[in-house]
Chain A
Amino acid sequence: MLKKKGILHELYTNKILFLMLLPTLLYFLVNNYLPMIGIYYAFVQFDFNTSLFKMDFVGLKNFEFLWKSGKLVELTFNTIGYNIVFIFLGNVLSIFVAILLNDIKGKWFKKISQSILFLPYFVSFVILSVIVFNLFNYEQGVLNTVLQQLGADPVDVYSKPKLWIFFIIMFYLWKNFGYSMVIYLASITGISEDYYEAAKIDGANAFQRAWHITVPMLKNTFVILLLFALGSIMKGQFDLFYQMIGNNGLLFSTTDIIDTYVYRSLRVTFDMGMATAAGVYQSLFGFTLIMIVNAIIRKVNKDYALF
């Protein structure tokens, strides 16, 4: 019925609402859509002296370096792999701890543990890297000092790439799970007490209440957080990987992601074109992924889809 009267009529009838929407639209237009013109940098030879559209068009030449080293597949696999683990473990852990915290009766204990879990979120990755180095370095690290005290042989942690899969995930969770935990905690606070009381009267124990009431009620928040996270699945946690691994080539096979690769490759090459090309690759990949996942969610349950 809207179609019949056309968009102008729609604009006229809801003019106040559209007016209220205008600032937001403008905000996104200026900050998120307009800069997309810069994507064109990926297809030109950068030149300091001319404007963007006067630079020489070079086609896909700027993208070449991505596959020249033969690492693109490995890097994409690492980036996505880590992010899937981060999303999955991060959410499961946050939901689990949020439920536990919510059931704790002692107000002070609850507040304190909530804050303690949240605090690592504010630790910078640079500081984290120093902490990690002091834990694991071969000569004076805490780990090896303890091992030697116990009469065991010291371990060179920094030459064992497989071990770092575990460390990276562990430190990511340590640092970030408090944040999503607070979101889940807020969701749980919003669930009506009535359900729990009814369940109690029916004789459900704490586990049953959590599993059959809390978890289903959190599904919505989970899906939204999941979709948000998927949008940036191709964007690795640059700080985390770069600070922990740095220039240690021994660990690259399991810990190098697109972001660190691009940074290292272009550190000495000041070519805006190539840097943009890497960004475009990541964005396109992320865009495709989120469209696919959103479509699947739409198929399964329309209400949960993002759009």
Chain B
Amino acid sequence: MRRSRMSAAAVAVAMAVFLIAACSSNNDSARPGDADGKSSSILTSRTEGRSGPVVLQFYMLGNAPKDLPIIEERINEMALEDLNVAVKFHYTTWTEWDQKYKLLLSTGRAVDLIFTSDWAFYQQYAHQGAFMALDELLPLAAPKLQAFVPKEMWDAVRIDGRIYTVPSTYKEYVTGGFIWREDLRRKHGLPTPVDLPSFEAYLEGIRQHEPGIQPAAFGSLVDSSIQHAYLEVERKAVGPMPYGLYASYDKPNEIGAYWGTPSHLEDLKKYKSWAEKGYLSKNVLNDPVSMQDQIASGEAAALLSDNPTRYNAMLSQMQAQHPDWDLGYTPFGRSTGYATPVHPMHNGFAIAAGSEHPEEALAFYEKLVTDERYNRLTQYGIEGVHYEVKDGFYHALDKSGFEREGMIGWAWRNPDYMLFEPSYERVQRIFNELDQIQKPDLYTRFVEDYTEYQAERAALEQVVKQYLYPLLAGQIEDVKEGLAIFMEKANEAGLPKIQQSYMKQWKDYLANGIVSNQGEKPQ
């Protein structure tokens, strides 16, 4: 009896599979040949790797560029001859990159070279031992690279006294600034946003004159797009500190709680007033479209904050579709009076702790940075096919092919070989302006060690999303009460413990680290 029932069920499942298969049978006929072709090519590339040179696994965050196989082939031709190595470029895509990055480093995958950045938690990973220390390796494997990167920069990326990444030497600013639709401003005679009051006046004008356009876009990650941006411009924060802590750039030592204070309440009320006036979308927390795309497509008219390079990219993207539209930009430095150039940690390349070929990897990376052929090829593609140089500027030839910096090679930019589009002048002008008021970055080098409070930290993450995000988005009717609830939940999750430990670490860092920090001022 039992057997028959089970087998009846098995038959049912088998028939279900058959029915499902029948649904998709149409697609199958075209497949076999296709699959064969693919598998054989993978096979040959594998055997090549085994019998011949060392194959380096090169990992980048972001989306793979077009024509990557062509570039890879050319690079490998040169690398085989020069170093007897081959390289395989991998891209994580931007979706869930932080998860993938974590898995790449912690699951024992073969990774030789991998991109690092402060926003990809370089300091924490290095501190935890995910990367290989390069101090001894550099003079052996890449003396030219060691000499090329200034000593201050090597020192600036040291974690616990050791070098774990090769910093980029290109100097840029990724500080914030107001971005707005300049053509609309002119059309309606609105004020130019230079500080918060004029920014708000601009938004008000857009609301009145352009009912179809969202005055400002923020995206769903409102802690960075609203809170940190606001603190940067209005309260001159030393950096985007986590856990509701705040220290000003002028007095970094006076670190203290920001969440729950009267100034926090005041700021939340400000955001609430923005939401009430309709400056920000009511459903900003669920918005699937990035704020940059909303500007480029004309859905929204302004951003509270973005950096000069992205402003330029947005403007180019926008004018490709709508030549008569225009964007304006005011760096926050104009009202705050200072700007910090990007920290050398912002773009770098590390060798994973588990790499089996660290010398080869570093030698190859040296070529990538210091050899013009390697560098130009991976940054701009093939000259004459993808781009040409006219009057010293970069001009794209094949719009559907490899794009400028398509390999997301921010880390191996070499100022000596860099080519810019004519529109880059806009960015350069902003950078020149900021150069006049530059001050060193005090925040980025700080390495937070959260092993002591990692349970509280994880619990807090949820509380912030659940109770603070709606407040930031101006979705809570009674701001004061909402803030009280948030603080209560955050304290339950262990906020005081986190803050105390973080503040202590920060003060220690300022006491010990600030000296070597002075040397960080890029040349």
User: Per-position contact with B for A256-279: 1 when CB-CB < 8 Å, else 0?
Assistant: 100001001111111110100000
Contact B458 A274 (CB under 8 A): yes
Asked whether, in the complex, the Cβ of B129 is within 8 Å of the Cβ of A49, the reply is yes
Q: Do the beta carbons of A265 and B19 come within 8 Å of each other?
A: no
Give the distance in Å from the alpha carbon of A158 to the alpha carbon of B275 in the complex.
14
Cross-chain contact A270 with B106 (CB below 8 angstroms)? yes
Q: Return chain B residues, CB-CB under 8 Å to A71.
A: 462
Q: Which residue of B lies closest to A243 (CB)?
A: B288
Q: Are B462 and A265 in contact (CB under 8 A)?
A: yes
A250, CB-defined interface residue at 8 Å: yes
User: B residues within 8 A CB of A267?
Assistant: 98-99, 461
**A159 and B16 alpha carbons, distance in the complex (Å):** 41
Across the interface, B353 reaches (CB within 8 A) one of A48, A130, A250, namely: A48
Q: Which of A190, A250, A269 is B12 in contact with, Cβ under 8 Å? A: A190
* A20-38 interface bits toward B, Cβ cutoff 8 Å, 1 = contact, 0 = none: 0000000000000000000
Residue of B nearest to A156 (CB): B282
Expressed in whole angstroms, the minimum distance between the Cβ of B127 and any Cβ of chain A is 10
Question: Inside 8 A of A249's CB, which chain B residues have their CB?
Answer: 285, 465-470
A138 touches B465 (CB 8 A): no
A43-98: which have CB < 8 Å to B?
45-49, 61-62, 64-65, 68-71
Known: A49-B353, A220-B5, A249-B469. A133 touches B288 (CB 8 A): yes
Select B15's contact among A136, A156, A189, beta carbons within 8 Å.
A189
**Contacts A48-B105, A267-B461: A190 and B11 contacting too (C-beta < 8 A)?**
yes
Q: Of the listed stretches A169-177, A180-188, A202-210, A288-296, name the one at the interface; the rest are far from the partner chain.
A: A180-188
Q: Is A14 an interface residue (CB 8 A)?
A: no
Chain A residues with CB under 8 A of B282: 137-139, 156, 158-159
Residues of B within 8 A of A261 (CB): 462
* B198-206, B232-240, B377-385, B448-456 - interface stretch: B448-456
What is the distance, in angstroms, from A196's C-beta to the closest C-beta of chain B? 17
B475 to nearest A CB, angstroms? 6
A62, B282: Cα distance in complex, Å = 37
A247-B12 in contact (CB<8A): no
Question: Could you tell me if B459 and A65 are in contact, using CB atoms closer than 8 angstroms?
Answer: yes
- Chain B, interface size category, equals 35 or more
Contact of B458 among A224, A245, A265 (CB under 8 A): A265
* In the assembled complex, A221 has its CB within 8 A of some CB on chain B: yes
The answer, yes or no, to whether A153 is at the interface (CB within 8 Å) is no
Residues of B within 8 A of A248 (CB): 220, 283, 285-286, 469-470
Contact in complex: A303, B1 (CB < 8 Å): yes
Binary contact readout B1-13 vs A (1 if CB under 8 angstroms, 0 otherwise): 1100100110111
Residue A285 is within 8 A (CB to CB) of chain B in the complex? no
Residues 92-147 of B at the A interface (beta carbon under 8 Å): 98-99, 102, 105-106, 121, 124-125, 128-130
Q: Do the beta carbons of B466 and A252 come within 8 Å of each other?
A: yes
Q: How far is the CB of A139 from chain B (nearest CB, A)?
A: 6
CB distance from A136 to the nearest CB of B (A): 8
Contacts A47-B128, A47-B129, A303-B2 hold; do A68 and B469 have CB atoms under 8 A apart? no
Q: How far is the CA of A70 from the CA of B488 in the complex (A)?
A: 12
Once the chains bind, are B12 and A183 in contact (CB under 8 Å)?
yes
CA–CA, A274 and B288, complex, Å: 29
> Do residues A118 and B469 form an inter-chain contact, with CB atoms below 8 A?
no
Q: Of residues A61, A185, A269, A274, which shows the largest number of chain B Cβ atoms within 10 Å of its Cβ? A: A269
A to B CB contacts below 8 Å, 23 in the list: A48-B106, A49-B129, A64-B455, A68-B493, A130-B288, A137-B286, A139-B283, A158-B282, A182-B19, A183-B12, A185-B19, A246-B220, A247-B220, A248-B220, A249-B469, A250-B285, A252-B466, A264-B465, A265-B461, A267-B98, A271-B454, A272-B106, A274-B458
Chain B interface (Cβ < 8 Å from any Cβ of A):
1-2, 5, 8-9, 11-13, 15-16, 18-20, 23, 98-99, 102, 105-106, 121, 124-125, 128-130, 214, 220-222, 281-283, 285-288, 353, 450-451, 454-463, 465-470, 475, 489, 492-494
Q: What are the nearest 5 A-B pairs in CB distance?
A: A68-B459, A64-B455, A186-B15, A138-B282, A65-B458
| Contacts beyond the supplied A48-B353, A69-B459: 13 A-B pairs with Cβ under 8 Å | A47-B128, A48-B125, A48-B130, A133-B286, A137-B287, A138-B281, A183-B12, A186-B15, A190-B8, A249-B468, A249-B469, A272-B106, A274-B454
Question: Residues of A with Cβ closer than 8 Å to B?
Answer: 45-49, 61-62, 64-65, 68-71, 115, 118, 129-130, 133, 136-139, 156, 158-159, 182-183, 185-187, 189-190, 220-221, 224, 245-250, 252-253, 256, 261, 264-272, 274, 302-304
